Amino acid sequence: MTGPGLPPGISVHPVPGLPEFAPGDDLAAAIARAAPWLADDDVVVVTSKAVSKVEGNLVRVEPGTDRETARQQAVDAETVRVVARRGPLRIVETRHGWVVAAAGIDASNVAADALVLLPEDADASARRLRDRLHELLGVTVAVVVSDTFGRPWRDGVTDVAIGAAGLPALVDHRGAVDQHGNRLETTQVAVVDELAAAGDLVKGKLGGIPVAVVRGLRFRSPEPDTGTRPLVRLGPGDLFPTGTRDLVGSRRTAATLAHRDGALSAVTEAFRTAVAALPEFPVVFRYGSEEGSEEGDGGDVVDVHLADPITPVTSLSLGAVVGAALVQLQADGWATRWEPAGTFGGASLAGRLWLGADAG
């Protein structure tokens, strides 16, 4: 019995034989030499690191300087906004509008005395590369500049596009109707990101193959060419403008906070965060669980004391810190209940915080 044959699809090819790049090198000429087989409508996927190297977008690590310290300084310089932080790890919004760990500054695949920044304008880099390849080989290709990003909630990195030219970043199916008559509401496919991912399957993190070519994809060159700008989602459209564990910039680390375990340490951390967040409410408080407290439903009880005499002003300050801490605890998944103490006549006991099992 014979069945259908192998249907035509797309193919993804590595481009081996490229040299180690340095500032001022002609990337397009090197690609043209290594891939003279490039054809119209091929998509050239280039690792951003190669682009940054030829464009000289490097930071030199001075002799005697700690590489990690230099990296943190470089991250500072590239950062518009810290989105989340845990210990030395910072997820930041870069000047380009990308949200990425360490501003995309990777310390691998570069000499030990240098760090590579993201390209200054990777869309422009992609356009230049596209134009030069047309000059050199007479072919009209599209270009994707790729970088390796992590993402929330999923372990493992994937390559995404941070620059593009000659193809649409998003393919829009909105308003189209499927074969069942359902109108597609929200489907815009980030095709350049899928191309970057496909390219990574034949490149290598170790092998120094910074370029791949995808052949066989059908697409239309957009006019005007907005590159990867349509991918940037910040401002009102962003549901995750801040990593919750790092709501407060001054909170240096949340590594000590064991989720779903350790009520007291969670409370400690939340109050520390709240105090740091609210310097306009100076409050000194003590808290600790009463021994032999009798909550029978598996929750923890933390008694909150105010060191200063109870007055309306100190109560307001204490309340501010408690409120901020409770919201932080809720965001971390704890069920909370606050029971104010019944009397305030000079007593230093301000209230009791009940911390329940995970709020799920």
Asked if 321 is part of the footprint of a second copy (rule: CB under 8 A), the reply reads: yes
Task: With contacts defined by CB under 8 A, name the span among 54-62, 81-89, 128-136, 290-298 that binds a second copy.
Answer: 81-89
Asked if 167 is part of the footprint of a second copy (rule: CB under 8 A), the reply reads: no
Interacting residues of 52 by C-beta distance below 8 A, sequence separation 6+: 58, 116, 117, 118, 119
Residue 295 CB, shortest distance to a second copy, in Å, is 15
Instruction: Identify which of 45, 313, 322 has the alpha carbon closest to the alpha carbon of residue 161.
Output: 45
Asked if 243 is part of the footprint of a second copy (rule: CB under 8 A), the reply reads: yes
Asked if 240 is part of the footprint of a second copy (rule: CB under 8 A), the reply reads: yes
Residue 131 CB, shortest distance to a second copy, in Å, is 21
Question: Count of alpha carbons within 13 Å of 171, Cβ hemisphere only?
Answer: 12
Q: For residue 303, count other CB atoms closer than 10 A to its CB.
A: 17
Interacting residues of 326 by C-beta distance below 8 A, sequence separation 6+: 270, 336, 338, 353
CA torsion sign, 73 to 78 to 81 to 82?
negative
Place of tokens 């907005």: 226
164, 181 Cβ separation under 8 angstroms: no
For a second copy, which is the closer residue by CB, 79 or 140?
Answer: 79
Task: With contacts defined by CB under 8 A, name the span among 23-31, 55-63, 120-128, 233-241 that binds a second copy.
Answer: 233-241
149, 100 Cβ separation under 8 angstroms: yes
Q: Under rule CB under 8 A, how many of the chain's residues touch a second copy?
A: 134
Residue 128 CB, shortest distance to a second copy, in Å, is 22
Asked if 41 is part of the footprint of a second copy (rule: CB under 8 A), the reply reads: no
- Reported as type and span, the H/E element at residue 78 is helix 67-78
Binding residues among 254-313 for a second copy as defined by CB under 8 A: 257-260, 274, 277-278, 280-281, 310-313
Q: Which residues pair with 84 in a beta bridge?
A: 91
Task: With contacts defined by CB under 8 A, name the span among 55-63, 123-131, 244-252, 284-292 that binds a second copy.
Answer: 244-252
Residue 322 CB, shortest distance to a second copy, in Å, is 5
Cα gap 34→82, rounded to integer Å: 40
Instruction: Identify which of 35, 46, 32, 21 has the alpha carbon closest to the alpha carbon of residue 210.
Output: 46
Asked if 222 is part of the footprint of a second copy (rule: CB under 8 A), the reply reads: no
Asked if 7 is part of the footprint of a second copy (rule: CB under 8 A), the reply reads: yes
Binding residues among 176-215 for a second copy as defined by CB under 8 A: 176, 178-182, 184, 186-191, 193-195, 197-198, 200-202, 205-206, 208, 212, 214
Task: With contacts defined by CB under 8 A, name the span among 14-22, 50-58, 117-125, 288-296 that binds a second copy.
Answer: 14-22
Asked if 331 is part of the footprint of a second copy (rule: CB under 8 A), the reply reads: yes
